[in-house]
Amino acid sequence: MHTATPVLALANAWDVASACVSVAAGCSAVATTSAGVAWSLGAADGDALDRSLALDLIARVVAAVDVPVTADIETGFGATATDVAETVRGVLAAGAVGVNIEDSFRTDTSPLRDTAAQAERLAAARAAADKAGVALYINARTDVYLRGVGDEGFRLDETVRRARAYLDAGASGVFVPGVADLSTIKALVAEIPAPVNIMVGPGAPSIAELGGVGVARASLGAAVAEAAYGLARRAAEELLGSGTYQSVAGGMTWSELNALFH
């Protein structure tokens, strides 16, 4: 799916229903969003969710759909490479065949994990999958652009440097969220010798434009969950304010949603 055309377009899900909706709409795979999953389970995004809850959700999604599932596992749900390997074993047991592992490092001193340390975590994930005999797709996410590290020139060079190190460690592809400039995306695709994933949303290039510069995968990330929760807020505010209900017009019907589970 990452080497064929068109671009692998993923409307990220955060629960069983959103996964089923995306498949019914035509998505050829399901990708979870770590932010949406965390929010739906009562935790903040950013390594706050309990691993067991995340794995349970992944298993429920896998059981509900008949397409491949890739799971966003944040930084790997653990402080060490051994922890990452344990998480990957849980993901494989849940039935998913892909993961996102990010290099954000949420401390006061550094926004990104050291490249060598992150490579070690990715290598542990690959070793765990190899031992299980599963050709796990490891989407190595680097947050150089998302976290605004350095100036524009530095970001490009640092992203490419990290991407190559992560691929050497066993990653299958590279995810670069936070970049929307098409010329920059084209340069990243040219310099990264593996499928490149871009996060999309309002203001980002279209799927056709991304495909035109060689992007392999485009994902909405947390945007769908954010939009859904935005609707929930607007509906509550309208209900309590004007006492009307137009915010909820245009939703899927009870019958449509119920039919997804028969």
| Residue 243 in tokens | 């006492």
> For tokens 């550094």, what's the residue?
110
| Residue 224 in tokens | 């769908």
The one-digit pLDDT tens for each residue of the chain (262 residues) are 999 889 999 999 999 999 999 999 999 999 999 999 999 999 999 999 999 999 999 999 999 999 999 999 999 999 999 999 999 999 999 999 999 999 998 766 789 999 999 999 999 999 999 999 999 999 999 999 999 999 988 999 999 999 999 999 999 999 999 999 999 999 999 999 999 999 999 999 999 999 999 999 999 999 999 999 999 999 999 999 999 999 999 999 999 999 999 7
DSSP, collapsed to helix, strand or coil, labels residue 62 as helix
CA–CA separation, 21 vs 25, rounded Å?
A: 6
What are the C-alpha distances in Å from 262 to residues 27, 57, 69, 109, 241? 19, 20, 20, 50, 38
pLDDT digits (tens, 9 = 90+) for 220-229: 999 999 999 9
DSSP 22-52: HHHTT-SSEEB-HHHHHHHTT--TTT-S-HH
CA–CA separation, 74 vs 101, rounded Å?
A: 6
pLDDT for the residue 138: 98
pLDDT digits (tens, 9 = 90+) for 154-211: 999 999 999 999 999 999 999 999 999 999 999 999 999 999 999 999 999 999 999 9
Four-CA torsion 254, 256, 260, 262, nearest 10 degrees: 80
pLDDT for the residue 26: 97
Phi then psi dihedrals of residue 79, to 5 deg? -80, -25
CA–CA separation, 7 vs 28, rounded Å?
A: 11
C-beta of residue 132 within 8 angstroms of C-beta of residue 92: yes
pTM above 0.75, yes or no: yes
pLDDT for the residue 107: 65
What are the C-alpha distances in Å from 88 to residues 42, 63, 84? 22, 18, 6
